[in-house]
Amino acid sequence: MNSSHLVIALTKGRILEEVLPLFAQADILPIEDISKSRKLIFDTNLANVKLMVIRGSDVPTYVEFGSADMGVVGKDLILEYGSEGFYEPLDLKIAKCRLMTAQPVNSQTSQGRLKIATKFTNIAKQYFAEKGQQIELIKLNGALELAPAMGLADAIVDIVDTGNTLRANGLEPRELIAEVSSRVIVNKASMKIKNGVIREILGKLHRAVDAAK
């Protein structure tokens, strides 16, 4: 960890599109167009603040180990990773969606051992354990919606926004596991060592979130 500058890890893709306007509102601006570059780290208008752009599932790792001081990542990935390794001081209230179970339309939920396909294996394990439901977990990394139709699973646990992806694949949402939005996370040591600059950035982002309401 370099104490002279601050690194913020952003999640690429859908979250980035909503995060950059919020950061602009908070007066944190990359000095080049992130969407037009293949670089992974960018200087900003603030002398000592850099933005990294990486996969969401890697943001908690970078922040926990202090290679990034702060990060922006979906609550789904925080729940999956576990939140003991960092602070989670701010809900940016963007990229909202739901983590849900989904099954083929009108299918009965079997009382026996359910086969669940998901990339959120820790969340699924905990959710069904709390319900006392026995499951067999099948880890997939994408295109989960195909799994029930192909006979691989009875149900899936996945992110749902409009529900269009589920419907297009003959599935319907069933149980809500968690409401999801993007959160700011902060490395625990950075919060002490770089408290002044981190508090300042959190304050600016807080005001940007309030202004966006």
Can you give the binding site for ligand AMP, defined by CB under 6 A? 14, 74, 95, 97, 158-165
Helical axes 14-25 vs 195-212, angle rounded to 10° = 100
Asked whether the beta carbons of 111 and 173 are under 8 A apart, the reply is no
CB of 180 to ligand AMP, least distance (A): 6
Complex with ligand AMP: residue 141 or 164, whichever CB lies closer: 164
Exposed (0-12), middle (13-18) or buried (19+): which is 159, by Cβ within 10 Å?
middle
**Secondary structure of residue 89 in the 3-state scheme:** strand
Complex with ligand AMP: residue 68 or 171, whichever CB lies closer: 171
Q: Which residues are within 8 A (CB) of 102 and not within 5 positions of it... i.e. 6 or more apart? A: 145, 155, 156, 157, 158, 160, 166, 171, 172, 173, 174
CB of 78 to ligand AMP, least distance (A): 12
CB of 75 to ligand AMP, least distance (A): 9
CB of 146 to ligand AMP, least distance (A): 12
Complex with ligand AMP: residue 44 or 182, whichever CB lies closer: 182
Asked whether the beta carbons of 135 and 128 are under 8 A apart, the reply is yes
Complex with ligand AMP: residue 5 or 14, whichever CB lies closer: 14
CB of 52 to ligand AMP, least distance (A): 18
Asked whether the beta carbons of 109 and 143 are under 8 A apart, the reply is no
Complex with ligand AMP: residue 117 or 198, whichever CB lies closer: 117
Q: Which residues are within 8 A (CB) of 124 and not within 5 positions of it... i.e. 6 or more apart? A: 116, 118, 135, 137, 157
